[in-house]
Amino acid sequence: MKRIGLLSPESERKRHHARKPLEVVSDDQLNRAITGLASPPVTPEKGNGVHVSQSELGKAKRRLDFTIAEGTVERNTTGSVYSLGKSLFLRGSECDKMDDQKTLVSRQQECDHLQSFIETNLAKNNSASIYISGPPGTGKTAQTMSLLDWYTDNAKSQRGSIYDVQIAGRISRVSVVKVNCMAVARPEDVYRIIHREISQSSKRQKLDSETLSKVLADKSICDMNIVVLDELDNLVNKNQQVLFELFTWASNHQQGGPNLLLIGIANALDLTDRFLPRLKNNQINPEVLAFMPYTAEQTKEVIMNKLRILQKMTGGDLDAIPLIQPVAITLCSKKVASNTGDIRKALDIIHRSLDVIEETTRSKVTQSEFDSLTLESAPKVNIGLVAKVCNSIFGVNVGSTKLSGYNLQHKLVLCALANYESHLLESKGKITTVTGSGGSPRRKRLSSTVNGLYEFYTKHVNTDKLMGTLKRGEFIEILNSLESSGSVTIGSGTQTLDYGQSPVSCSISRKELLEAVSDNALLQKVITKD
Ligand SMILES: Nc1ncnc2c1ncn2[C@@H]1O[C@H](COP(=O)(O)OP(=O)(O)OP(=O)(O)O)[C@@H](O)[C@H]1O
Ligand SMILES: [Mg+2]
């Protein structure tokens, strides 16, 4: 079959991979363009973690306490009311718990399920496992840690990672070990980490599974070992033997076997399909707890709860909603829920919105007026501002703002595409004759394709003298990066899997593009039909 694609077969095969890393407009640039933020909140990089043993940490937990439980709330209340608000919505700030100190806002069901798993099995001295799955930002880690912290914080006594916890009217000696599998270089290291925590040994010795299983079975150390394997996905992609072994121990109810409550947390969506069936095929049946994406209502409740905390911190009216208009909160919640339901996005949107309103307000009033603003008097984030910030975060309908972060070649390709689409629109209804399979002539309606666009670009966009003409490979790279940042949509190819025949369309309206290039004669020429 003759290929009419623009790329070599090898390049086309790699195309999918090539698309993702090509970010033309960095988040950072975009944030600054929209909000003037110099350093927007960032997700901590996974994989760079350092495992700090809990025994080293002991009870010296340094946590920001943003709860609204009984008692006085000691906080640093210096800075503007906006800074105070922003501190609550900063990524990485302690997530808020309900009055019971263990349940996250909007995660009651999940907390109850996990608590019942732990307590039922502890009461019976049963080994068991639970597999917690769900997309990113649904509170899997935060809820699990919150519940375990609640047990350990209320323990009668503690020795390293071993706690005397009171459950169902009796005291159990329990070890609690939390392992972030992202920080584990080789699966076998998990044995050593667990052993080190339980035995309080600082020796970096090699350890086989048999030694660990004996330690886990040793009732003189503790009655039950609760082991959390967070970011389990990281181990599933490597040697799965270690995981199978741990899940096998946790499903073994024989006397004298390891005493293990295993909590595996995974965020890859397809892990449930890949890993769980393999466990079940091996007669290992962990309980399954799915954390669903936050709904709009739940997201709203998380935001509202943080604002109530703010009122509590400053002694304000708990019924009033400070700093953000209710409709703006609703819009943010709906946008996040309709996207991925990742609560981190909601925190980011509110944080950025507060940043913008803070700067705007500061520029309008004197310093002393600014300093004397209260939660009641401070201008509030409105729906328009949240809409703008949502657009910057989700990368849609940002027209000129998005364009301002592109270089000239990218803008040129976008303008060429807009012009090409206009040409095609004009010739809508026109029929062209193409050669069909088997060599017979076939009549086909004109449509925008990657091949067609490149041909249009080379014929109609005459910028050779000024900045040269892009070679096909370069052109495709730029097109792919425009797609990655949401300005262009490239459909999947035809049955021939020919990338050149993939339909291509501009995701920014022609009107927005025209506005965005109004100060550039060259681009105006490229976008204007001749
Ligand atoms: N219900 C909630 N209320 C307040 N903050 C929350 C809530 N749920 C999650 N968060 C916060 O959102 C962030 C992400 O939560 P968490 O790390 O638990 O998500 P996750 O499901 O484990 O995501 P990943 O799959 O990426 O590991 C954390 O900073 C956490 O404190
Ligand atoms: Mg997590």
Out of 337, 364, 396, pick the residue that ends a domain.
396
Dump pLDDT digits (tens) for 449-477: 999 999 999 888 877 667 788 889 889 88
pLDDT band at 237; cut points 50, 70, 90? low
Q: Which pLDDT value is given to residue 15?
A: 42
Task: Give the Cα separation of 274 and 74 in Å (integer).
Answer: 47
Rounded to the nearest whole angstrom, what is the distance from the C-alpha of residue 147 to the centroid of ligand 1?
14
Q: Which pLDDT value is given to residue 58?
A: 38
Dump pLDDT digits (tens) for 397-448: 445 556 767 788 888 899 999 989 888 887 754 545 444 444 554 545 567 8
Domain range for 233: 107-290
Q: Are 383 and 414 members of one domain?
A: no
pLDDT band at 529; cut points 50, 70, 90? low
For residue 444, give the DSSP letter: E
Report if residue 81 sits inside a domain: no
Range scoring the smallest mean pLDDT among 6-20, 324-338, 425-439, 482-496: 6-20
**Cβ neighbours, 10 Å, residue 4:** 12
Q: Are 391 and 428 members of one domain?
A: no
Q: Are 495 and 429 members of one domain?
A: yes
Range scoring the smallest mean pLDDT among 33-47, 126-140, 226-240: 33-47
Pocket flag, ligand 1, residue 403 (CB < 6 Å): no
Ligand with the closest atom to the CA of 295: 1
Report if residue 87 sits inside a domain: no
Range scoring the smallest mean pLDDT among 60-69, 124-133, 154-163, 476-485: 60-69
Rounded to the nearest whole angstrom, what is the distance from the C-alpha of residue 392 to the centroid of ligand 1?
22
Rounded to the nearest whole angstrom, what is the distance from the C-alpha of residue 22 to the centroid of ligand 1?
28
Pocket flag, ligand 1, residue 344 (CB < 6 Å): yes
Percent of the chain with pLDDT over 70: 75
Q: Which pLDDT value is given to residue 55?
A: 41
What values do phi and psi take at 266, rounded to 5? -135, 145
CATH number at residue 115: 3.40.50.300
**185-190 CB contacts, 8 Å cutoff, 24+ apart:** 186/238, 186/239, 187/235, 187/238, 187/239, 187/240, 187/241, 187/242, 187/243, 188/239, 188/242, 190/229, 190/235, 190/242, 190/246
Pocket flag, ligand 1, residue 353 (CB < 6 Å): no
Report if residue 73 sits inside a domain: no
Indicate the number of domains in the chain: 3
Q: Are 195 and 281 members of one domain?
A: yes
Report if residue 326 sits inside a domain: yes
Rounded to the nearest whole angstrom, what is the distance from the C-alpha of residue 333 to the centroid of ligand 1?
15
Pocket flag, ligand 1, residue 86 (CB < 6 Å): no
Dump pLDDT digits (tens) for 339-358: 889 999 999 999 999 999 99
Dump pLDDT digits (tens) for 286-299: 999 999 999 999 99
Q: Are 136 and 274 members of one domain?
A: yes
Pocket flag, ligand 1, residue 19 (CB < 6 Å): no
Token pair, residue 469, equals 């003409």
